[in-house]
Amino acid sequence: MSNNFEPRNLNLLIGVTGSVATIKLDELIDGFVKKFIHINICIIATKNSLHFIEDFLKFNQKYPILQDRHKLLQSLDSQEPVIFSFSDEDEWSSWSKRNDPVLHIELRKWADVFLIAPLGANTLAKISNGICDNLLTSVARAWDIENINTKPVIVCPAMNTCMFKHPLTKTQLTILSDQFGFTLIDPIEKILMCGDSGIGAMAKTDDIIQKTYDFLKLKNLF
């Protein structure tokens, strides 16, 4: 029996941060498109994440990536996967006067699930303390926490071992899980990009995709 499903399109919002694990974005997109036949994906890229993925967003040939918020709602009934990408500049360039749509609110309404992969130490600290100084953290701050069971947020921490073992990290992750209701996909042990060996690497992309699928299925969200 196939693991794929065929209801309406799932709208997956993926936030990427300044962690080097952001280079796995293409693997995540490819895996989600294969796992969920009917899916739309929107990427929110922080300024620092663009250091790793700017060329991918501009030049990849497999999945043309749109940067037009006006087409976001039109994607709901698309028969093919539609991929969007927005960054901090889009938040401001899309608004000029009162009653104009606000991008971070539009994205929150559009999304069925918000996956932050990777969640670096800096963005973790911001979200856990309510700071909303970019598009990604503004979406997180504006998320409807009262309905977190039907519009979940899933986060995948990724950072250096010493950063992960810092006592603040445990405190901040506990805020996300216990107070905000976010779902955590724990990091793994491996040789990190910096050469250190230890815990802190983002979970394997296949595991992130499968755990996201299993979680959404458990919650009857598709």
Instruction: For residue 193, give both structure tokens.
Output: 């990009």
**Cross-strand partners of 183:** 154
Residue 188: strand pairing partners: 201
- Of the candidates 42, 156, 162, 194, the residue annotated as catalytic is 194
Token look-up 């991008």 returns 103
Instruction: Note the Cα 202 to chain centre separation in Å.
Output: 13
CA 20 to each of CA 34, 137, 212, 221: distance values in angstroms, whole numbers, following the listed order: 24, 19, 21, 31
* 107/96 Cα distance (integer angstroms): 18
Query: CA 217 → CA 4, 73, 117, 211, 222, distances in Å?
Result: 11, 24, 20, 10, 6
Q: Which DSSP string corresponds to 148-207?
A: TTTS-EEEEE---HHHHHSHHHHHHHHIIIIIS-PEE---EEEE-TTS-EEEEEPPPHHH
Bridge partners of 15, per DSSP, are: 44, 116
Is 132 a residue of the active site? no
Q: How far apart are CA 132 and CA 136, in angstroms?
A: 8
Which residues does the annotation mark as catalytic? 194
